[in-house]
Structure 1
Amino acid sequence: MDNIVPIVRQKMQRAFEVLREDFATVRTGRASPALVENIVINAYGGTQALRVLELATIHIENNSTIVISPFDKSIISEIEKGIANANVGLNPIVDSEVLRINLPPLTEERRGELVKLIKQKTEQGKIMLRQARHEGMEDVKRKASGENLSEDDVIRIEKEIQKLTDEFTGKVDTLASEKEKELMTL
């Protein structure tokens, strides 16, 4: 019975990590490898679908420039096309054997759109947390009816699950406010 709480914690931690990774892909005006590393490229004439991270090294030249150095220089144009066609608002430029992506400063309007996107992603994260909570509570009720559990044990476990939910909801809110602050900082 006591294994329910660790399982719920694990599900909530996974939901939090998914949200953190999702937030990393939101452009904030600062260059970050996360903006391009998971874009899938159809390399070698479309025979292989690989992430940019698997095809090249990515480093940050300055606050507004990402430099991508392909391991195989012959696929530089395929990486360029893949990033340009990924609909992430990035325009790579071939510069001899590397790709450079210059990030223009975000407009006030675009910042507002991104803040809305952060709020949507935050709500999706909270929904995942509530789902994990709901599943945990259902497990408690199911096991309580099948085992000899006192009402006090059931209440204690439900309180632990609620405490976890509150803890992870706070983490999600903190993560979202940090990302919003990063977005609004010029």
Structure 2
Amino acid sequence: MINDIKADAEKHMKKSLEALSAAFNKIRTGRAHPAILDSVTVNYYGQETPLKQVASVNVEDNRTLTVSPWEKNLIPTIEKAIMSSDLGLNPATSGDIIRVPMPMLTEETRREMVKQAKADAEHARVSIRNARRDANSMLKELEKEKEINQDDLRRGEEDIQKLTDRYIAEVDKTLKSKEEDLMAV
């Protein structure tokens, strides 16, 4: 029973870490990376479809992505979808390929992105702490109903705290890495 609660808490903590990763992918650095366009969807025969399902996205050089649609008639639609996304990118078409240059980041833009990354990391930490709180309250409920004793409660809370510490350290490590990536010129 205690193991189920710990497993559930760990599952929620992992999801928080995955959500943080997804949020960090949306924060672009000066370098081109295909994951930047993961959030872009294209109107494909009346359906909103992720870009990577209608085209291949590759890195041409450090500062340029290339998007090769599988159907030529999608080129204007893809171009419009990239422009209307909140990524601040301006694609340019040349023949069958859409080139997406990554604009240089100013110092001010970098600082704003670091602030955003810190806010996303704090959101992940709060989510992890909420998972800990929920697990601890379930353990206390079990102890209150006399299904576990105080020693089991204390051990369970210690284990959940260790899990929490491990996942928060992972968030901090991921944030540090993203900050270094953003501040590199």
Shorter-chain TM-score: which interval?
over 0.9
Residues 24-50 of structure 1: per-residue CA shift (max 9 Å, x gap): 121010101111122112233xx1111
C-alpha root-mean-square deviation of aligned residues, in Å? Answer: 1.0
**1:31 correspondence with 2:32:** yes
Give the residue type in structure 1 aligned to 2:42: I
Deviation at 1:17, TM superposition (A): 1.0
User: Matches of 1:98 and 1:133 in 2, distance apart?
Assistant: 48
User: Matches of 2:137 and 2:71 in 1, distance apart?
Assistant: 52
Give the residue type in structure 1 aligned to 2:20: L
- Identity, in percent, stands at 35
Please give the TM-score of this superposition, normalised by the length of structure 1. 0.95
Stretches of structure 2 lacking an aligned partner (at least 5 in a row): none
Deviation at 1:104, TM superposition (A): 1.9
Deviation at 1:55, TM superposition (A): 0.9
User: Matches of 2:16 and 2:135 in 1, distance apart?
Assistant: 14
Question: Are 1:67 and 1:101, in contact at CA under 8 Å, matched by a contact in 2?
Answer: yes
More displaced 10-residue stretch of structure 1: 174-183 or 146-155: 146-155
Residues 82-129 of structure 1: per-residue CA shift (max 9 Å, x gap): 110112101111110011001122111100110110111011111110
Deviation at 1:53, TM superposition (A): 1.0
Question: Are 1:43 and 1:79, in contact at CA under 8 Å, matched by a contact in 2?
Answer: no
More displaced 10-residue stretch of structure 1: 60-69 or 33-42: 33-42
**Aligned partner of residue 131 in structure 1, secondary structure:** helix
Question: Are 2:26 and 2:36, in contact at CA under 8 Å, matched by a contact in 1?
Answer: yes
**1:11 correspondence with 2:3:** no
Stretches of structure 1 lacking an aligned partner (at least 5 in a row): none
Question: Are 1:40 and 1:50, in contact at CA under 8 Å, matched by a contact in 2?
Answer: yes
Partner of 2:81: 82
**Aligned partner of residue 49 in structure 1, secondary structure:** strand
Residues 126-157 of structure 1: per-residue CA shift (max 9 Å, x gap): 11101111111111112222243110100000
Partner of 2:57: 58
**1:21 correspondence with 2:16:** no
Partner of 2:106: 107
Q: How does 1:1-186 map to 2 (within 5 A)?
A: 1-2=1-2, 3-44=4-45, 47-186=46-185
Question: Are 1:26 and 1:114, in contact at CA under 8 Å, matched by a contact in 2?
Answer: yes
